[in-house]
A and B are shown apart, each in its own frame.
Chain A
Amino acid sequence: MLHTVNKSPFEKNALESCLSHAVEGASILLIEDGVYAALGGTSTAARMAEAAKRFKVFVLGPDLAARGMDAGRLVEGVGIVDYEGFVDLVAEHPTSQAWL
């Protein structure tokens, strides 16, 4: 299962709900305002770092760049993908679930 999350963890619980329902082997892609969850030094960073050990976690580069967020400040274990990588992730997983 590929999970996408597009809400900021500081405003909505979409990420938290996603993390608590995802099962082993899941991938999680942070997009749009969801990318704020990928950054280190925040109140949610520890939760993200722990999640990155259980799941494959990615963040969409163009959404990070659009928001002026530094790709060098990501939580350890979070990978960056571009739009092509997004498409590859969707193709690799038989099912996707969008947490809105």
Chain B
Amino acid sequence: MDEMESGVVKKFMFVNRKAPYGTIYALEVLEMVLISAAFDQDVHLAFVDDGVFQLKKGQDTKALGQKNFSPTYRALDGYDIEKLYVEAESMAERGLTPADLLVPVEVLSRAEMGALMNEMDVVLTA
């Protein structure tokens, strides 16, 4: 915390590995990401494994009685969170292409994603 207060910018990465709605992880991470924007850190957002489902276009939760939080990913740009990475293999395994996603992202291979994770100061995976 001392380092944050003195203005040292750290590389943070939030790694999303879970699909939305089945568990609370995706929504909780999204809220953490929004809050992290207030601390002016170098925030990265990664979507791997079932996490890629969080960005699927056309989510409609009306019948579930749960909030559809997928539009909020489109607000991240306004919070200056612009580093969104999606893993190519995770998408391919699930039959998705970048055209299925609701925000523009950078597509990385699994190896590139692993290398990027390794460059971070703090990694939070959920």
Contacts and interface: CB of A to CB of B under 8 A. Distances in A.
Given A21-B48, A21-B110, A100 B125 contact: yes
Interface of A: 1, 13-14, 17, 20-23, 26, 94-100
Contacts of A23: 114-115, 118
B82 interface: no
Interface in B30-51: 48-49
B114 A97 contact: no
A17 B113 contact: no
Interface of B: 15, 17, 25, 48-49, 110, 113-115, 117-118, 120-123, 125-126
B122 A98 contact: no
Contacts, number: 37
Given A95-B122, A95-B123, 10 more contacts: A17-B17, A21-B48, A23-B118, A95-B120, A96-B123, A97-B117, A97-B123, A99-B17, A100-B125, A100-B126
A19 B121 CA distance: 20
Contacts of A14: 17
B117 A99 contact: no
Given A21-B48, A100-B126, A95 B121 contact: yes
Given A95-B121, A100-B126, A13 B115 contact: no
Contacts of B113: 21
Contacts of B125: 97-100
Contacts of A22: 114
A21 B117 contact: yes
A21 B114 contact: yes
A17 B48 contact: yes
Contacts of A100: 17, 25, 125-126
